[in-house]
Amino acid sequence: MALLSILRYPDPRLKTIAKPVEKIDDALRRLVADMAETMYEAPGIGLAATQVDVHVRLVVIDISETKDQLLVLINPEILEREGVQTYEEGCLSLPTVYDKVERAQRVVVRYLDLEGKEQTLAAEGLLAVCVQHEMEHLEGHVFIDNLSLLKQTRAKAKLAKFVKRARITA
């Protein structure tokens, strides 16, 4: 396994729309393992392949406290959305930026697992938020796209300060 580089906003590659996974093979399994290691190390609770500059429909998620319940979604598709919830979100591609985003309270997702079997997942609460957040990456969006222009401007300024400080201390 290897740590992967996470693209940072406003990298234009984050706007790439991911293509469906064509084949589940050892290369894809290695990518999943590398993405999981990268997510845990960051630390985060979700990572889309787009964020590591691989533009296929693949997401890894683990919202457990123990970090031992990895969920792998290949070619995920949301079938149902219900209710509304507001959650404060962050993103590994936008370090230090957090804001409240409105999303569905419950989603039903169809996806393939690592064995290529079709699965259905009903997710609520934080898991539903995470699924929707990561799937947005596959469509070329980041969570601040859901914010007002004022909040987007503030988020970009905060991120710019973070990047500047990181360069100074590096």
What confidence tens digit (pLDDT) does each residue in 5-54 have? 999 999 999 999 999 999 999 999 999 999 999 999 999 999 999 999 99
Which domains, from first to last, does the chain contain?
12-169 (3.90.45.10)
Of the listed ranges 32-36, 106-110, 163-167, the one predicted with least confidence: 163-167
Q: Are 35 and 60 in contact (CB under 8 A)?
A: yes
Q: What does the block give as tokens for 48?
A: 């889309």
Residue 134 bears catalytic tag: yes
Q: Are 81 and 106 in contact (CB under 8 A)?
A: yes
Residue 79, CA distances (Å) to 4, 29, 90, 123 in order: 31, 25, 25, 11
Of the listed ranges 10-19, 49-58, 104-113, 147-156, the one predicted with least confidence: 147-156
Start-to-end C-alpha separation, the chain = 26
Confidence class of residue 1 from pLDDT cuts 50, 70 and 90?
A: confident
**Predicted TM-score (pTM) above 0.85:** yes
- Closest listed residue to residue 83, CA positions, set 146, 135, 148, 128: 128
Single-letter code of the amino acid located at 69: Q
pLDDT of residue 120: 98
> Which one of the listed residues 102, 115, 134, 136 is annotated catalytic?
134
Residue 169 reports pLDDT greater than 70: no
Residue 125 reports pLDDT greater than 80: yes
pLDDT of residue 170: 57
